[in-house]
Amino acid sequence: MRKIGIIAVLSMLVVALAAVPALAQNPHFISSSATGPAANGDLTVNFKIAGLGDNETITVTATADATATYVCVNRGGANPSASNKTTVSGPVSASGEFTSGKNGQVTGSLTLSPPPNTTLTCPPGQSLELASVSYTNVSVSGGGDTADIPGTFTRCLLPNVRGAC
């Protein structure tokens, strides 16, 4: 009879411990920044997020509004015609999964790429090139928190091509 009483008490203890909620987590960005655009037009978004549990996987997403200008470049290194140019604008994003360490933090980066050209075709003897790119309204989000990265990130990728930028 005494064994049954001990088993009953231990069973209730196990149920009670299982009902205790996990330690509260509060994911939040400690830092966020952007670098670039790079020579290929990509923008790198860097971040550090804390308040996670140990070895917790989190999805982080970087977003921005981007504008890219594409041009046709002739063999002489020029954009010979104003009609051989197009500007594409729209939202861009990149996501990734990151796992926190024992300290409940993640440091990482995501790469945003310019919106693709969907309309411009170049005549024979000319090559399609990304001339310039600009990113605004850059932000990074994950774990229920969002960090805005102020500024406009712009680069002329073809400064030596007459008429490109």
- Residue ranges per structural domain of the chain: 24-156
Q: Look at the block and give the residue holding tokens 């993640």.
A: 106
Amino acid found at 129: E
Sort 37 into a burial class: Cβ within 10 Å, 0-12 / 13-18 / 19+.
Answer: buried
What does the longest C-alpha to C-alpha distance in the chain come to? 98
pLDDT digits (tens, 9 = 90+) for 6-50: 444 334 434 443 333 344 478 999 999 999 999 999 999 999 999
**Reported pTM:** 0.81
Bridge-based pairing of strands 57-73 and 85-99 is antiparallel
